[in-house]
Amino acid sequence: MNQDKKIAVLLPCYNEALTVEKVIKDYKEAFPTADIYVYDNNSTDGTGEIAKKAGAIVKREYAQGKGNVIRAMFKDIDADCYIMADGDDTNPPVPEMADMILRGEAEMVIGDRLSSTYFTENKRPFHNTGNRMVRGLINTLFDVNVTDIMTGSRAFSYTFVKTFPVLSKGFEIETEMTIHAAAHNLRMVEVPTNYRDRPEGSESKLNTYSDGAKVLGTIARLFKEYKPMAFFGLFALIFLIISICLFVPVFNEYFATGLVPRFPTLIVAGFLLIIGLLLFMCGLILEVIVKKNRQIFELFYIRTKR
Protein backbone atom coordinates (compact mmCIF):
# COMPACT_ATOMS: atom_id res chain seq x y z
CA MET A 1 0.00 0.00 0.00
CA ASN A 2 1.33 3.44 -0.95
CA GLN A 3 2.22 5.24 2.29
CA ASP A 4 2.02 8.68 0.60
CA LYS A 5 -1.65 8.26 -0.21
CA LYS A 6 -4.32 9.37 2.23
CA ILE A 7 -6.91 6.77 3.22
CA ALA A 8 -10.11 7.64 5.02
CA VAL A 9 -12.26 4.99 6.70
CA LEU A 10 -15.90 6.08 6.84
CA LEU A 11 -18.16 4.57 9.50
CA PRO A 12 -21.75 5.89 9.50
CA CYS A 13 -23.24 4.92 12.88
CA TYR A 14 -26.59 4.99 14.59
CA ASN A 15 -26.80 3.33 18.02
CA GLU A 16 -23.82 1.00 17.54
CA ALA A 17 -22.36 1.27 21.08
CA LEU A 18 -22.00 -2.51 21.32
CA THR A 19 -19.77 -2.88 18.25
CA VAL A 20 -18.24 0.45 17.22
CA GLU A 21 -15.10 0.13 19.37
CA LYS A 22 -14.22 -3.26 17.89
CA VAL A 23 -14.88 -2.01 14.36
CA ILE A 24 -12.53 0.95 14.87
CA LYS A 25 -9.84 -1.34 16.31
CA ASP A 26 -10.12 -3.78 13.40
CA TYR A 27 -9.87 -1.04 10.77
CA LYS A 28 -6.94 0.61 12.56
CA GLU A 29 -5.06 -2.68 12.39
CA ALA A 30 -5.95 -3.19 8.72
CA PHE A 31 -5.21 0.43 7.70
CA PRO A 32 -2.66 1.78 10.24
CA THR A 33 -2.09 5.06 8.37
CA ALA A 34 -5.77 5.79 7.73
CA ASP A 35 -7.97 8.37 9.41
CA ILE A 36 -11.03 6.71 10.97
CA TYR A 37 -14.14 8.87 10.73
CA VAL A 38 -17.30 8.05 12.69
CA TYR A 39 -20.35 10.13 11.85
CA ASP A 40 -22.84 9.76 14.69
CA ASN A 41 -26.38 9.95 13.29
CA ASN A 42 -28.26 11.05 16.45
CA SER A 43 -27.34 7.99 18.53
CA THR A 44 -28.84 7.78 22.01
CA ASP A 45 -26.60 5.03 23.40
CA GLY A 46 -23.27 6.87 23.59
CA THR A 47 -21.89 5.61 20.27
CA GLY A 48 -20.08 8.89 19.59
CA GLU A 49 -18.35 8.99 22.98
CA ILE A 50 -17.20 5.38 22.67
CA ALA A 51 -15.85 6.03 19.16
CA LYS A 52 -13.93 9.10 20.32
CA LYS A 53 -12.31 7.14 23.15
CA ALA A 54 -11.35 4.44 20.63
CA GLY A 55 -9.39 7.03 18.63
CA ALA A 56 -11.80 7.89 15.82
CA ILE A 57 -12.51 11.36 14.45
CA VAL A 58 -16.14 11.80 15.49
CA LYS A 59 -18.61 14.17 13.87
CA ARG A 60 -22.38 14.41 14.16
CA GLU A 61 -24.91 14.40 11.36
CA TYR A 62 -28.34 15.58 12.50
CA ALA A 63 -30.29 14.71 9.34
CA GLN A 64 -31.47 11.15 10.01
CA GLY A 65 -30.69 8.45 7.48
CA LYS A 66 -27.64 6.69 6.08
CA GLY A 67 -27.85 8.57 2.79
CA ASN A 68 -27.70 11.88 4.63
CA VAL A 69 -24.64 10.70 6.57
CA ILE A 70 -22.83 9.57 3.40
CA ARG A 71 -23.62 12.92 1.76
CA ALA A 72 -21.98 14.75 4.68
CA MET A 73 -18.95 12.44 4.65
CA PHE A 74 -18.36 12.80 0.92
CA LYS A 75 -18.70 16.57 1.18
CA ASP A 76 -16.41 17.05 4.20
CA ILE A 77 -13.59 14.56 3.71
CA ASP A 78 -10.76 14.66 1.16
CA ALA A 79 -8.68 11.52 0.59
CA ASP A 80 -7.11 9.43 -2.17
CA CYS A 81 -9.05 6.36 -1.11
CA TYR A 82 -12.25 6.03 0.89
CA ILE A 83 -13.17 2.83 2.73
CA MET A 84 -16.81 2.65 3.75
CA ALA A 85 -18.08 0.12 6.27
CA ASP A 86 -20.96 -0.34 8.67
CA GLY A 87 -20.49 0.15 12.39
CA ASP A 88 -22.26 -3.12 13.24
CA ASP A 89 -19.17 -5.36 12.90
CA THR A 90 -20.65 -7.39 10.05
CA ASN A 91 -17.99 -6.38 7.49
CA PRO A 92 -14.39 -7.36 8.34
CA PRO A 93 -11.79 -5.02 6.75
CA VAL A 94 -10.24 -6.08 3.44
CA PRO A 95 -6.96 -4.19 2.68
CA GLU A 96 -7.06 -5.44 -0.92
CA MET A 97 -9.98 -3.08 -1.59
CA ALA A 98 -7.84 -0.01 -0.84
CA ASP A 99 -4.94 -1.39 -2.88
CA MET A 100 -7.16 -1.72 -5.95
CA ILE A 101 -8.37 1.88 -5.64
CA LEU A 102 -4.86 3.27 -5.11
CA ARG A 103 -3.54 1.33 -8.12
CA GLY A 104 -6.29 2.88 -10.25
CA GLU A 105 -7.92 -0.46 -11.08
CA ALA A 106 -11.42 0.72 -10.23
CA GLU A 107 -13.46 3.73 -9.18
CA MET A 108 -15.50 1.62 -6.76
CA VAL A 109 -14.65 -1.72 -5.16
CA ILE A 110 -17.58 -3.67 -3.75
CA GLY A 111 -17.23 -6.09 -0.85
CA ASP A 112 -19.17 -9.10 -2.11
CA ARG A 113 -20.81 -10.86 0.86
CA LEU A 114 -23.21 -12.99 -1.17
CA SER A 115 -20.46 -15.15 -2.68
CA SER A 116 -19.10 -16.10 0.74
CA THR A 117 -20.90 -16.44 4.08
CA TYR A 118 -23.92 -14.14 3.80
CA PHE A 119 -26.64 -16.70 3.19
CA THR A 120 -25.47 -18.92 6.05
CA GLU A 121 -24.76 -16.13 8.56
CA ASN A 122 -27.73 -13.88 7.87
CA LYS A 123 -30.72 -14.90 9.99
CA ARG A 124 -33.30 -12.81 8.10
CA PRO A 125 -34.58 -14.87 5.13
CA PHE A 126 -36.57 -12.00 3.59
CA HIS A 127 -33.32 -10.01 3.32
CA ASN A 128 -31.83 -12.86 1.30
CA THR A 129 -34.82 -12.85 -1.05
CA GLY A 130 -34.70 -9.05 -1.32
CA ASN A 131 -31.00 -9.09 -2.19
CA ARG A 132 -31.59 -11.58 -5.00
CA MET A 133 -34.53 -9.59 -6.39
CA VAL A 134 -32.70 -6.25 -6.33
CA ARG A 135 -29.61 -7.83 -7.89
CA GLY A 136 -31.65 -9.33 -10.72
CA LEU A 137 -33.47 -6.06 -11.43
CA ILE A 138 -30.36 -3.89 -11.57
CA ASN A 139 -28.30 -6.35 -13.58
CA THR A 140 -31.12 -6.66 -16.12
CA LEU A 141 -32.12 -3.01 -16.37
CA PHE A 142 -28.60 -1.55 -16.40
CA ASP A 143 -26.77 -4.36 -18.21
CA VAL A 144 -24.18 -5.05 -15.50
CA ASN A 145 -23.12 -8.12 -13.56
CA VAL A 146 -22.86 -7.19 -9.89
CA THR A 147 -23.33 -9.89 -7.27
CA ASP A 148 -23.85 -7.84 -4.09
CA ILE A 149 -25.79 -4.65 -4.77
CA MET A 150 -26.67 -3.62 -1.21
CA THR A 151 -23.46 -4.23 0.70
CA GLY A 152 -22.20 -1.44 2.96
CA SER A 153 -18.59 -2.57 2.51
CA ARG A 154 -17.10 -0.51 -0.32
CA ALA A 155 -14.03 1.44 -1.38
CA PHE A 156 -14.06 4.55 -3.58
CA SER A 157 -11.66 6.73 -5.48
CA TYR A 158 -11.50 10.48 -4.93
CA THR A 159 -13.09 10.98 -8.36
CA PHE A 160 -16.08 8.79 -7.58
CA VAL A 161 -16.75 10.50 -4.26
CA LYS A 162 -16.53 14.02 -5.64
CA THR A 163 -18.67 13.34 -8.73
CA PHE A 164 -21.40 11.26 -7.04
CA PRO A 165 -24.58 13.28 -6.37
CA VAL A 166 -26.11 11.73 -3.24
CA LEU A 167 -29.90 11.96 -3.57
CA SER A 168 -31.06 9.10 -1.34
CA LYS A 169 -31.70 9.75 2.34
CA GLY A 170 -31.68 6.23 3.75
CA PHE A 171 -30.46 2.69 3.20
CA GLU A 172 -31.15 2.83 -0.54
CA ILE A 173 -27.87 4.74 -0.89
CA GLU A 174 -25.90 1.58 -1.83
CA THR A 175 -28.33 0.86 -4.66
CA GLU A 176 -27.91 4.43 -5.91
CA MET A 177 -24.09 4.09 -5.85
CA THR A 178 -24.18 0.94 -7.96
CA ILE A 179 -26.61 2.38 -10.52
CA HIS A 180 -24.61 5.63 -10.73
CA ALA A 181 -21.43 3.69 -11.54
CA ALA A 182 -23.23 1.49 -14.08
CA ALA A 183 -24.96 4.41 -15.83
CA HIS A 184 -21.74 6.45 -16.15
CA ASN A 185 -19.49 3.53 -17.12
CA LEU A 186 -17.35 3.85 -13.98
CA ARG A 187 -15.34 0.70 -13.39
CA MET A 188 -16.65 -1.48 -10.53
CA VAL A 189 -14.79 -4.48 -9.16
CA GLU A 190 -16.06 -6.98 -6.62
CA VAL A 191 -13.90 -8.58 -3.94
CA PRO A 192 -15.32 -11.51 -1.95
CA THR A 193 -15.57 -10.64 1.75
CA ASN A 194 -16.70 -12.59 4.76
CA TYR A 195 -19.95 -11.65 6.43
CA ARG A 196 -20.82 -12.24 10.05
CA ASP A 197 -24.21 -11.60 11.56
CA ARG A 198 -24.63 -8.98 14.25
CA PRO A 199 -23.55 -10.06 17.75
CA GLU A 200 -26.26 -10.86 20.26
CA GLY A 201 -27.84 -7.69 21.62
CA SER A 202 -27.12 -5.62 18.50
CA GLU A 203 -30.24 -4.78 16.51
CA SER A 204 -30.47 -4.01 12.80
CA LYS A 205 -31.89 -0.61 11.81
CA LEU A 206 -33.24 -2.02 8.55
CA ASN A 207 -36.96 -2.51 8.08
CA THR A 208 -37.38 -5.33 5.58
CA TYR A 209 -40.57 -4.06 3.97
CA SER A 210 -40.39 -0.25 4.14
CA ASP A 211 -36.69 -0.08 3.25
CA GLY A 212 -37.21 -2.71 0.57
CA ALA A 213 -39.98 -0.59 -0.96
CA LYS A 214 -37.67 2.45 -0.91
CA VAL A 215 -34.95 0.48 -2.71
CA LEU A 216 -37.39 -0.64 -5.42
CA GLY A 217 -38.62 2.94 -5.74
CA THR A 218 -35.02 4.13 -6.13
CA ILE A 219 -34.40 1.56 -8.89
CA ALA A 220 -37.53 2.70 -10.75
CA ARG A 221 -36.62 6.39 -10.36
CA LEU A 222 -33.05 5.94 -11.55
CA PHE A 223 -34.12 3.71 -14.44
CA LYS A 224 -36.46 6.50 -15.56
CA GLU A 225 -33.75 9.15 -15.13
CA TYR A 226 -30.82 7.27 -16.69
CA LYS A 227 -32.73 5.30 -19.37
CA PRO A 228 -35.82 7.34 -20.21
CA MET A 229 -36.24 5.89 -23.72
CA ALA A 230 -36.46 2.36 -22.33
CA PHE A 231 -38.71 3.45 -19.43
CA PHE A 232 -41.22 5.52 -21.41
CA GLY A 233 -40.90 3.26 -24.45
CA LEU A 234 -42.07 0.30 -22.37
CA PHE A 235 -45.24 2.12 -21.29
CA ALA A 236 -45.75 3.45 -24.82
CA LEU A 237 -45.62 -0.12 -26.13
CA ILE A 238 -48.16 -1.29 -23.52
CA PHE A 239 -50.62 1.48 -24.48
CA LEU A 240 -50.06 0.76 -28.18
CA ILE A 241 -50.81 -2.96 -27.76
CA ILE A 242 -53.99 -2.25 -25.78
CA SER A 243 -55.06 0.30 -28.39
CA ILE A 244 -54.56 -2.19 -31.23
CA CYS A 245 -56.44 -4.92 -29.32
CA LEU A 246 -59.43 -2.56 -28.93
CA PHE A 247 -59.25 -1.19 -32.46
CA VAL A 248 -58.96 -4.42 -34.48
CA PRO A 249 -62.47 -5.81 -33.68
CA VAL A 250 -64.04 -2.41 -34.50
CA PHE A 251 -62.04 -2.27 -37.73
CA ASN A 252 -63.14 -5.80 -38.73
CA GLU A 253 -66.79 -4.96 -38.02
CA TYR A 254 -66.56 -1.85 -40.18
CA PHE A 255 -65.20 -3.80 -43.16
CA ALA A 256 -67.77 -6.56 -42.70
CA THR A 257 -70.87 -4.35 -42.23
CA GLY A 258 -69.84 -0.81 -43.10
CA LEU A 259 -70.99 0.25 -39.65
CA VAL A 260 -69.19 1.28 -36.45
CA PRO A 261 -71.54 0.17 -33.65
CA ARG A 262 -68.93 0.54 -30.89
CA PHE A 263 -67.93 4.19 -31.01
CA PRO A 264 -66.85 4.33 -27.33
CA THR A 265 -64.38 1.52 -27.93
CA LEU A 266 -63.01 3.31 -30.99
CA ILE A 267 -62.63 6.57 -29.05
CA VAL A 268 -60.82 4.83 -26.17
CA ALA A 269 -58.50 3.08 -28.65
CA GLY A 270 -57.70 6.44 -30.23
CA PHE A 271 -56.94 8.08 -26.88
CA LEU A 272 -54.68 5.18 -25.86
CA LEU A 273 -52.83 5.46 -29.17
CA ILE A 274 -52.27 9.19 -28.58
CA ILE A 275 -51.03 8.54 -25.01
CA GLY A 276 -48.64 5.91 -26.32
CA LEU A 277 -47.25 8.32 -28.93
CA LEU A 278 -46.85 11.08 -26.31
CA LEU A 279 -44.97 8.70 -24.00
CA PHE A 280 -42.70 7.69 -26.87
CA MET A 281 -41.96 11.34 -27.67
CA CYS A 282 -41.26 12.07 -23.97
CA GLY A 283 -38.76 9.22 -23.89
CA LEU A 284 -37.12 10.43 -27.10
CA ILE A 285 -36.71 14.01 -25.86
CA LEU A 286 -35.48 12.98 -22.41
CA GLU A 287 -32.98 10.56 -23.97
CA VAL A 288 -31.35 13.48 -25.78
CA ILE A 289 -31.20 15.45 -22.50
CA VAL A 290 -29.67 12.47 -20.67
CA LYS A 291 -27.02 12.11 -23.37
CA LYS A 292 -26.13 15.79 -23.01
CA ASN A 293 -25.94 15.38 -19.21
CA ARG A 294 -23.57 12.43 -19.68
CA GLN A 295 -21.32 14.57 -21.84
CA ILE A 296 -21.26 17.24 -19.13
CA PHE A 297 -20.54 14.59 -16.49
CA GLU A 298 -17.60 13.28 -18.53
CA LEU A 299 -16.06 16.74 -18.66
CA PHE A 300 -16.57 17.18 -14.91
CA TYR A 301 -15.20 13.68 -14.29
CA ILE A 302 -12.02 14.42 -16.28
CA ARG A 303 -11.44 17.67 -14.39
CA THR A 304 -11.92 15.94 -11.03
CA LYS A 305 -9.65 13.01 -11.85
CA ARG A 306 -6.45 13.06 -9.80
Domain ranges of the chain: 7-224, 228-304
Give the mean pLDDT per block of 10 residues along the chain (306 residues).
83 94 95 96 94 96 95 96 93 93 96 72 60 86 90 95 93 92 94 80 67 87 95 97 94 83 90 97 96 94 84
CA–CA gap between residue 88 and residue 74 (Å, rounded)? 21
Counting beta carbons within 10 angstroms of the beta carbon of residue 3, is it exposed (0 to 12), middle (13 to 18) or buried (19 or more)?
A: exposed
Residue 113, pLDDT score? 85
What is the pLDDT, as a whole number, of residue 83?
97
pTM of the model: 0.84
Task: Provide the 8-state DSSP code for 198.
Answer: P
Task: Provide the pLDDT for residue 116.
Answer: 65
Q: What is the model's pLDDT at position 22?
A: 94
Question: Regarding the domain with residue range 7-224, which homologous superfamily does it belong to in the CATH classification?
Answer: Spore Coat Polysaccharide Biosynthesis Protein SpsA; Chain A (3.90.550.10)
Q: Which residues on adjacent β-strands are paired with residue 155?
A: 83, 109
Residue 74 near residue 304 (C-beta atoms within 8 A): no
3-state helix, strand, coil in the chain (%, to 5): 55, 10, 35
Neighbours of 286 (CB within 10 A): 17
- What does the CA dihedral 197, 195, 209, 199 come to, rounded to 10 degrees? 20
Q: Looking at residue 256, what is its pLDDT?
A: 81
pLDDT of res. 3: 63
* DSSP collapsed to 3 states, 17-69: CCCHHHHHHHHHHHCCCCEEEEEECCCCCCHHHHHHHCCCEEEECCCCCHHHH
